[in-house]
Structure 1
Amino acid sequence: MSQTQVLARKWRPKKFSELTGQEHVVRALTNALEQNRLHHAYLFTGTRGVGKTTIARILAKSLNCETGVTASPCGVCPACLQIDSGSFIDLIELDAASNTQVDNMRELLENALYAPTGGRYKIYIIDEVHMLSKSAFNAMLKTLEEPPAHVKFVLATTDPQKIPVTVLSRCLQFNLKQIPQAQIAGHLKNILQQENVPADDVSLQLIARAAQGSMRDALSLLDQAIAFGEGAIAETGVRDMLGIIDQGYLFDLLEALAQKNGVQLLTLADEMEAQCLSFDLALQDLAALLHRIALAQTVPQAIGEDTPDYARIFELARLLPPDDIQLFYQIALHGRSDLSLAPDEYAGFTMTLLRMLTFMPDDMTTDRPAQPAKQPAATIAQPQKPPSPVKPAPVAAAPVENTRNADASNLGWPQLSQQLKLTGMAKMLAQHSEAKVLSADSVELYVPEVHKHLLDKKYQDKIQAALDTYFGKPVRLSFTVGALSGLTPAALQQREEQQKQADAIAAIEQDPVVQELIEQFDAKLIVSTIKPIEQ
């Protein structure tokens, strides 16, 4: 019984015209070959599976094809066939990862002095060349400085930063790009049509996305998907194979945010935990979904109709304001980076969702009563002078000046910022600020260095407009990068949540039933599972 050849080898390009996604490299090499402007050393850089070794082998055929040096080798002469099969005597391939020593390099370079046995050029392909030792690089350098006319070096690496500058300067360098997802999906579709394997477009998009720019990885995943689906490829099977989070959960989470439903958010998180889904992967996919929604809002033509969940993407693009999408994206990224610091993944994931909820418009949760707010004036007054520019230097801690008039005497900045009805990034800026001066005439806010990226003028302008509306007259607003006491509204809220958590843990630990279970059955209290109950 004949053995089936894996797709990555069966469909490996054998000529430049068959390559996908590296047009800039193909164009340069084609021009050089057609004009006979040949270099003695080429360096191909790029991540795994983007075509470095494949291009090196095609270049070897171009240089040794019996029809002459050409950008379109015939593919049928003995030289072309032998290079394709790996049996061409004048093509020497070396894996530097397993041949790092200087002795290997010296032996290789000594053989380079001899003329080719059957070809026009002796070609040395050295993969992962950055793994060579310093002595091996020095040995190579001597040959690169005065190479024999019949020798061509083709070096490949995923990490060009580790190659000595003296070697780099003697090579013609080409940087291979990661292959776009759409090109990978299109190539996979073409292959499956010729292999007579049925597949839907959504499955191919999922595989192409999982390959992360590597055509070799995409073909390996395609092989796996064919085996997983017993000869056919379907979306459900591909999602199971890749361990992809059911996108329905992510859409449901964003819809719960749009509906201001905190209870539904936690219910969905509980369902995801019950299915043992990866919360790290969930946040990664949530950020990717938010990116697609942002595209739908700003450049809708960038979302093709064959995009998975096309209709739901545009529905959320209509429901959620662009500012909130940008904010959710940043929160998802930060939540994922902080996941390892959380008490557990569930806590880190739900805290990220609650953070999104917190910075949405007020009265987001259905079971938290709305706080009373003062009646704003009917018209928005324009400020008499623009906000002062941001001062660059941090300022030492100082107490809040006692300049509040009767209208603001009962309010601190945490309370006032809640009543300004801010949303999105403007609300986040307010929550991460402290007031040094707070009155109906003047508000001076300090923003910690770590949050200075929030000081966008349009977010400052939104706070300015909200203050003018609240007090019914122009208010002088200024921002300074620095810190006072560190007790921003966000810090106070975090402190309050930590205290609630500590009180909840203490209450459970002191519960007589719990203590009896610990004493009699040597039970252990899993602190990370304790959640405070909102009153």
Structure 2
Amino acid sequence: MTALALARSWRPKTFSQLVGQDHVVKALTHALDQGRLHHAWLFTGTRGVGKTTIARIMAKALNCTGEDGQGRMTSEPCGKCPACLEIDAGRFVDYIEMDAASNRGVDDIAALLEKAAYAPSNARYKVYMIDEVHMLTNHAFNAMLKTLEEPPEHVKFILATTDPQKIPVTILSRCLQFNLKQMPVPLIVEHLEKVLAAEKVDYETNALRVLAKAAQGSMRDALSLTDQAIAYAAGKVSEEAVRGMLGTLDDAYLIRILDSLIAKDGATLLAIANEMGERSMSFSLALADLSSLIQKIAAAQIVPESVLEDWPEAAEIRRLASAITKEEAQLFYQISITSRPDLSLAPDEQTGFAMTLLRMLAFRPRNESLGRAGNSAPPVASAPRSSVPVNQTATPVRPAPASSAPAPAPATAKPAASAPSAPPVSASAASIPAASSVDRPDWHALMRQIPVKGMVQQLAFQTELQEWKDTPAGVRVTVMTPMPQLASEASVGRLADALTAHFGKPVKVLIEKGEIEGKTVAKVDAQIHQEKRQNAEQMIAQDPFIRQLEKEFGAKVVGGSVKPL
């Protein structure tokens, strides 16, 4: 005799055996115990979460007569009376399961509704279960509206669907709707452990975790995959056998990939991709597993307690969380999830996967001064500074010059072209004699020269020089800005660092908040842009071709649509 599949032999037969749908079980058992029954229920959810199973249990609960044949409707069907046995065997005449995918027309529904008028032959209720009800046509839905709203007292309707959005609201309003949840991985693992223990099959817990993840929330899929794994392993269900069956990636590969990214080892990354190709692994699943691991690492950086001790990779996740910055984790995750659709466009999946790894390596932030484990403090150009108020930056520490070292020549201002970035102040620059002085510069020209970007550049462009004081200890600069929200401690500090590197001596920047009488760099740029736009509009208005269009066709140039190149 052929053995039943695990998904069939382990189908729950009572509410107490149902796994993962406690919210539905609680509502239905209370309704059965109190006798407050609705005439129609709608169960929604993805495949394999228990829609049909709950329908059969409900049919047994409604028609159970007990072992002695005198029982009443109950939330705990006996499983031994004729009604329970026949429903489990699929031959109970008053429980009708209809597949709407193959019986979707109005004639099919009309034939079903005609039979609903007759009393049950040997039961308390006649139960109609319509699976994948969203596949019915609009005419079929309309045909069942009246009967679904006011069915005979002996008729109960149970509808099931994986796509409730396609069901008309007129049907939804006539049913009690229950949304069945997807099964979480720990719950699937726990259930598979009970099943394999009862079936006397040896297993590894990590193998069950791989099966549970591959099931994607479906208990039926998990049991079917377990059946396949038992046949594939021909003995103990091991993690290696399950991964070989599914073509999934061992976590060791993923950890090697991240270690190679940390070490900037492109050769090893390509070697790992070649090794995976030789083992015929699924590169799409590999990217999915990689993004899942990176998500756990990012979560560990923000919420360390999110790493569970029973995870096999818990120690590696903590290690990688301390070795990768938060910015790198976010970058790697984004690249991994956005590259999956591109695999189909690549010459082959292995090439697409290798390019994804190289993209992670190429776009990784180059500035190694960023602190590990998410320390995102910006790099400073001067010696370490102590914490100061927002409107002031600390004067860089100047090391004492060696007595035997000759006095260096006075530093001169360097143009921006010779300094693409703001390097830290060298010992020679920090030991410039106090006698060297810096004349008051052209502030607007200076702000365009210093190599700053982003928020620091915006701050620089929104300032006006108020005071320039050159002292033996360094330069004291007071500037005013109408946008104090830009003057954060980090931005002011980086502006001072750039000026220090530019002039070769310590510069302290003080920020005052207020309106500026003159014109900042930003105002000058805005005025230049406005003049260019006006000139462009005049050129368009005077263009002969535009004039001809306006004359012959009544065309008009939309105001504000002309932009200078």
Same fold (TM > 0.5): yes
Mapped to 1, the partners of 2:496 and 2:356 lie a distance apart of 32
Mapped to 2, the partners of 1:360 and 1:4 lie a distance apart of 54
Contact 1:376-1:471 within 8 A present in 2 as well: no
* Match of residue 206 from structure 2: 202
**For each residue in 1:69-128, what CA deviation from the matched residue of structure 2 results, as whole angstroms up to 9, or x when unmatched?**
211111111111111111111000000001111111100000000011111110000000
The root-mean-square deviation of aligned C-alpha atoms, in Å, is: 3.3
Mapped to 2, the partners of 1:343 and 1:253 lie a distance apart of 22
- 1:294 counterpart letter in structure 2: A
Q: 2:355 aligns with which of 338, 351, 354?
A: 351
Q: Which runs of 5+ in 2 are unaligned?
A: 66-70, 369-378, 394-411, 425-446, 457-484, 501-507, 512-520, 523-565
Contact 1:407-1:440 within 8 A present in 2 as well: no
- 2:19 counterpart letter in structure 1: T
Mapped to 1, the partners of 2:299 and 2:241 lie a distance apart of 28
Identity %: 53
**For each residue in 1:449-508, what CA deviation from the matched residue of structure 2 results, as whole angstroms up to 9, or x when unmatched?**
xxxxxxxx99x99777656544446699x99xxxxxxxxxxxxxxxxxxxxxxxxxxxxx
Matched, 1:282 2:319: no
- 2:383 counterpart letter in structure 1: A
Question: What is the correspondence of 1:377-388 to structure 2 with a 5 Å cutoff?
Answer: 377-380=382-385, 384=391
TM-score for both structures, normalised by structure 2: 0.68
- 1:226 counterpart letter in structure 2: I
Provide closer, same or farther for how the CA distance between residues 269 and 461 of structure 1 changes in structure 2, counting only shifts above 3 A. farther
Contact 2:452-2:498 within 8 A present in 1 as well: no
* Match of residue 381 from structure 2: 376
* Match of residue 259 from structure 2: 255
* Match of residue 546 from structure 2: none
TM-score for both structures, normalised by structure 1: 0.72
Moved more, 464-473 or 86-95: 464-473
* Match of residue 82 from structure 2: 78
* Match of residue 52 from structure 1: 51
Q: CA deviation at 1:375?
A: 9.2
- 2:97 counterpart letter in structure 1: E
Question: What is the correspondence of 1:19-418 to structure 2 with a 5 Å cutoff?
Answer: 19-66=18-65, 67-342=71-346, 344-362=348-366, 376-380=381-385, 384=391, 409-410=416-417, 416=421
Contact 1:383-1:468 within 8 A present in 2 as well: no
SS of equivalent to 1:155: strand
Q: CA deviation at 1:144?
A: 1.1
Moved more, 169-178 or 345-354: 345-354
**For each residue in 1:174-214, what CA deviation from the matched residue of structure 2 results, as whole angstroms up to 9, or x when unmatched?**
00010000000000000111111000100010000100000
**For each residue in 1:281-332, what CA deviation from the matched residue of structure 2 results, as whole angstroms up to 9, or x when unmatched?**
2211100111222333344444333323333223222322333222211221
* Match of residue 11 from structure 2: 12
Q: CA deviation at 1:339?
A: 3.1
Higher Rg of the two aligned structures: 2
Mapped to 1, the partners of 2:498 and 2:333 lie a distance apart of 30
Provide closer, same or farther for how the CA distance between residues 236 and 34 of structure 1 changes in structure 2, counting only shifts above 3 A. same
Mapped to 1, the partners of 2:310 and 2:245 lie a distance apart of 21
Contact 2:391-2:489 within 8 A present in 1 as well: no
Provide closer, same or farther for how the CA distance between residues 139 and 340 of structure 1 changes in structure 2, counting only shifts above 3 A. same
Contact 1:94-1:127 within 8 A present in 2 as well: yes
SS of equivalent to 1:12: coil
Mapped to 2, the partners of 1:78 and 1:309 lie a distance apart of 51
Q: CA deviation at 1:407?
A: 5.2
Mapped to 2, the partners of 1:157 and 1:208 lie a distance apart of 23
Q: Which runs of 5+ in 1 are unaligned?
A: 365-373, 387-404, 421-436, 447-456, 480-535
Provide closer, same or farther for how the CA distance between residues 182 and 470 of structure 1 changes in structure 2, counting only shifts above 3 A. farther
SS of equivalent to 1:174: strand
Contact 2:455-2:491 within 8 A present in 1 as well: no
* Match of residue 454 from structure 1: none
Q: CA deviation at 1:354?
A: 2.7
Provide closer, same or farther for how the CA distance between residues 48 and 467 of structure 1 changes in structure 2, counting only shifts above 3 A. farther
- 1:328 counterpart letter in structure 2: F
Provide closer, same or farther for how the CA distance between residues 46 and 7 of structure 1 changes in structure 2, counting only shifts above 3 A. same
Mapped to 2, the partners of 1:146 and 1:89 lie a distance apart of 22
Q: Report which structure shows greater RCO (CA 8 Å, sep ≥6).
A: 1
